[in-house]
Amino acid sequence: MVRVHYHILFVAAVLLLSTGLAAGENSLERCIICHSADGNGATKEIPVIAGQKVDYLKAQLVRFRSSDRKHAIMQNQSRYLTDAEIDRIANYFATKVCQQPAKSLEYPVSVHLLANCLNCHGGREPDMSRNLPNLAGQRVGYLVRQLLVFRESAMKTAGIRRVVRTHPIMAEFARNLSTQDILTVANYFNGLGCGPQMGRR
């Protein structure tokens, strides 16, 4: 029953959002349909953006708007956003509280595997860069998809689910990751959890 409920919610959101955002519509309300009012996502398929860095959120919305970063729904939703609306949306979600529980990994994680990730993104305590996203508590599925897309962009193969995203540093890092490495990294950062008590808003 719960799965059916989430499926119906997801399909309804896709049908509604696929039409794009017309001028004058409340852009924030459309974001909340999928990302929820608290930014922790309406379903487990949606990335957590609560407490994410405001500059990072702005940059990604600008990239979706220009189609530099590709995702059918996000491109439709950002197509008509003004700079002022992007500022409003980013600031709204940046002030929300990330609420994802910490989890323990069932196997040891190589320090070498995580070294580059932690150098740029930090762990439970976010790094000080304004442009690099927090990863602690992020959904496993989202992290896996992004790392696979970066890896495929480095290998110049087709993107997953028509989601195409490139970044020279991330592509180079992901190039040599095995699928198991990607799962390990995703589960590690998800397992850190996030919330006020963990150093992330």
* 140-197 confidence digits (pLDDT tens): 999 999 999 999 888 775 545 454 687 889 999 999 999 999 999 999 999 999 987 6
Q: Is the pLDDT assigned to residue 84 strictly greater than 50?
A: yes
* Residues 15 and 78 placed together within one structural domain of the fold: yes
Domain that holds residue 146: 111-198
- The number of domains in the chain is 2
Tell me what pLDDT residue 157 has: 57
CATH at 141: 1.10.760.10
* 64-77 confidence digits (pLDDT tens): 999 999 999 999 99
Q: Per the domain annotation, does 22 fall within a domain?
A: yes
Tokens 């696929």 locate to 18
Q: Per the domain annotation, does 174 fall within a domain?
A: yes
Q: Per the domain annotation, does 73 fall within a domain?
A: yes
Residue 62 is which amino acid?
V
- Domain boundary (62, 94, 126) is at 94
> Could you give the CA distance from residue 188 to residue 71 in angstroms, rounded to a whole number?
25
Mean pLDDT of 41-65: 95
> Could you give the CA distance from residue 172 to residue 151 in angstroms, rounded to a whole number?
8
Phi (first) and psi of residue 104, to 5 degrees: -95, 135
pTM over 0.85: no
Residues pairing with 70 in the sheet: 164
Band the pLDDT of 118: cuts 50, 70, 90: very high
Tell me what pLDDT residue 56 has: 97
Tell me what pLDDT residue 198 has: 60
Closest Cα partner for 39 from 199, 169, 159, 194? Answer: 194
* 6-41 confidence digits (pLDDT tens): 444 444 445 444 444 444 458 999 999 999 999 999
> Could you give the CA distance from residue 57 to residue 94 in angstroms, rounded to a whole number?
8
